[in-house]
Amino acid sequence: MNPEKLRPLLAPRSIAIVGASESPDSWAPEIHRSLLHLGFQGELYPINPKYREVWGRPCLDSVLELPRGVDLIVFVVPARVVVRMIDDCGKAGARGIMVVSSGFAEAGEEGRELQLRLSEAAARTGIPVLGPNVEGFVNYVDRVAPYGTTPPPEPVAGSISVLSQSGTVAWAMNQLASDRGVGLRIILGVGNEAVVGLGDMFEWAAEDPHTKVVTTYIETMRDVAGIERGLEALRRARKPILVCAPEGRSEAARRSIVAHTGALAGNTALRDAWLRGHGAVLVEDPVTMFEAAVLLSYGTRMRTTGVAAALQSGGSCTLFAEAAGARGLSLPEFEAGTKKKLRRALPHFASQNNPLDVTGQAAVETDMFQGALEAIARDPAVGFVAFDAFPPRLEDEGVWAEPVLQKVRDLRKETGVVFASVAMSPLAYTKAARRFVEDAKLPFLQGHRAAAGAIRALVDLQDAGRRAVPALQSHPNRAKALRSLRGLSGPLDEAQGAKLLELYGIRRPKEATVRTPERASEAARKIGFPVAVKALAPELPHKAKLGGVRLDLANPTDVEVAAAEVIQAARRAGAKAPRVLVQEMVSGAEVLVGAVIDERFGACVTIRPGGALAEAGEAVFVAAPLTAAQADAYVRSQAARCGLDARRHDLKALAKAVAQVARAAHDLRGRLSSLEANPLLVGARSAVAVDALAEVRPPA
């Protein structure tokens, strides 16, 4: 939807309320109160055939009595009545509609039918519709609030847009901002998204000159394509988006997936990888999202991702360090030159650790505090500094921290280091405190846990551009790979899966496929001992568990016996025509490289410890395809948890394999549901896939 088409809906100069009433049982009085509270100066038209006057204004019988071209018509009448009146809104030339009423898709089959009719009527008239089942919105900049719940006591206009699938989350962000004196651009819940969805609102925010940061709460990815368009628009506009998305059941998790990778996908891993791949920064809860929005509204660039803290007590240092560690933040040790400066700035008994305990004396000897902050800010490993300079609690309280704040502002300008005052716990802001924070021109964060999450969001934002899903051309062997899948569905045997890997340049051991134990013995002689012998059958995706694998066979007799045994094991497991794979033994560290292809989110790839450890713990997925640089960065970020060391293992070869699995999964996403190499053995100079598994969707 063209963002310009949403302007009359979101910044109306004239509003009609269908179902206007002064009854306390109606949403209408709340909406009217909110409009007055925010100072709406436009025209207001009550509509209700039951009354001649509402709110001291003449009450109309129908939308057809409105002057032509009213910007926004708000419905607070039953769902069936709403649907019948949309065409009349079109005749009246209405430019926007908001449906507060419930009783649509959230209410069952009958409600879903009504919502479909609402969407069809909106399409006929061309009018953008917000809702149904919404509380409304508060537009702080344009001072208009058709909002059906408690408005903020002291609304402040700012640059943070809150766009949510949950009206309650939007309300909570609203109250946090009001209590702290933080300015918002807009808060808005999209309700059931019958017409206007989250993606449309993201596109609007991307073009809105007042929006610097977008926050959103996502419960259901109703329109993946629309959200993708919106995220891409925000990325082009270089506006960060913070996403709070709780666990839900993804399509891939509902599907029965044979591959280890599918089991690892869990409830939300694929969705989250997709969101990150399109520029979103994920946060765990609305409180962290608010703190992150406050932080990002002051800037989004860090010179480096190392975090330091200078706090006024040992307890604060310990708690901040724990919170930072839980978020995976790097707290680098100060370099020797920094420690030397700290020894000059601090008492002789003070340590030079990070976090740095400047002691409570720092509030009295502000020169000492300033000296410590300057030393830390000039450490090349530090890109963020947390300090504590709290707002005054009393109206006439002296402000000791002003010299410290001025020093911080100067250092921020000189060094490019990001600074934020971090309180251990939430603090109530008096009018004096709000004035103090506004004058400070610095972010003030509350609660070590939420503040650490906010800093994590800032760190993640530095990599958001590098994580973007690239537009790569298809692999030259894509057509061959698709031909190899003709007529197939369900799990493939290892040889078939290996063919896909080989077509995409992933190395396999020397191997041969045979039908009899005698042929297996002959193949082993040609390959060279020792070898592995495996049963080949699509009915055995996990053949090792069923006795279908023998390893380290050193002579022809052992190979012949092993081949007979794995064929027998395959038949016991239900294989109709098992074959035998004879394979060169390869050594190296075992990792799993796998991809899952979701029907909505596309392909996502993961690496993790392989073999018996494949399904232990959580997997970190990234959206496919990947550039060579992205694959290399991803491999290096996961190397330690996979037991890999760049001095002993060929991470470059592994990164190439990861990129090619990701590319194959993306290229073949219309046919594959999963593709994996488990294990892929990483040696000093190679990465070799010694097992392969693919699952094929039935042809469309």
Residue 266 pLDDT level (bands cut at 50, 70, 90): low
Minimal CA–CA distance to 216: which of 193, 245, 195, 248?
Answer: 245
- Residue 379 vs residues 309, 341, 542, 608, 641: alpha-carbon distances, Å: 12, 10, 52, 35, 29
In the prediction, which pLDDT does 248 show? 56
Secondary structure element (H or E) that encloses residue 678, with its range: strand 672-682
Average pLDDT, the chain: 93
Q: What is the pLDDT of residues 66-95, one digit of tens each?
A: 999 999 999 999 999 999 999 999 999 999
Quote the tokens at residue 599: 């029907």
Q: Is the pLDDT of residue 388 over 60?
A: yes
84 CB neighbour count, 10 Å cutoff: 12
Q: What is the pLDDT of residues 349-380, one digit of tens each?
A: 888 999 999 988 888 889 999 999 999 999 99
392 CB neighbour count, 10 Å cutoff: 16
- Residue 429 vs residues 45, 193, 433, 534: alpha-carbon distances, Å: 38, 36, 5, 69
Domain spanning 3-246, CATH architecture: 3-Layer(aba) Sandwich (3.40)
In the prediction, which pLDDT does 153 show? 84
Q: Flag the least confident range among 332-341, 521-530, 615-624.
A: 615-624
In the prediction, which pLDDT does 162 show? 98
Whole-number percent of the chain with pLDDT over 70: 96
Q: Flag the least confident range among 136-140, 155-159, 254-258, 612-616.
A: 254-258
Q: Is the pLDDT of residue 256 over 60?
A: no
Q: Is the pLDDT of residue 257 over 50?
A: no
In the prediction, which pLDDT does 612 show? 64
Kindly state which CATH superfamily the domain 300-464 is placed in: Succinyl-CoA synthetase domains (3.40.50.261)
Fold classification of 510-585 (topology level): Dna Ligase; domain 1 (3.30.1490)
Q: Does domain 589-696 have CATH number 3.30.470.20?
A: yes
Phi, psi of 597 (to 5 degrees): -115, 115
Phi, psi of 622 (to 5 degrees): -130, 150
Q: Write out 576-598 in H/E/C secondary structure.
A: CCCEEEEEECCCCEEEEEEEEEE
Residue 391 pLDDT level (bands cut at 50, 70, 90): confident
In the prediction, which pLDDT does 615 show? 60
Q: Angle at Cα 584 formed by Cα 583 and Cα 590, nearest 5°?
A: 95
Q: What is the pLDDT of residues 462-517, one digit of tens each?
A: 988 888 899 899 999 999 999 999 999 999 999 999 999 999 999 999 999 999 99
Please say whether the beta carbons of 306 and 382 come within 8 A.
yes
The CATH 3.40.50.720 domain(s) of the chain lie at 3-246
The dihedral of CA 652, 656, 661, 663: what is its sign? positive
The CATH 3.30.470.20 domain(s) of the chain lie at 589-696
Average the pLDDT over 281-301 and give the result.
97
Q: What is the pLDDT of residues 580-623, one digit of tens each?
A: 999 999 999 999 999 999 989 999 999 999 866 656 567 889 99
450 CB neighbour count, 10 Å cutoff: 24
The CATH 3.30.1490.20 domain(s) of the chain lie at 510-585
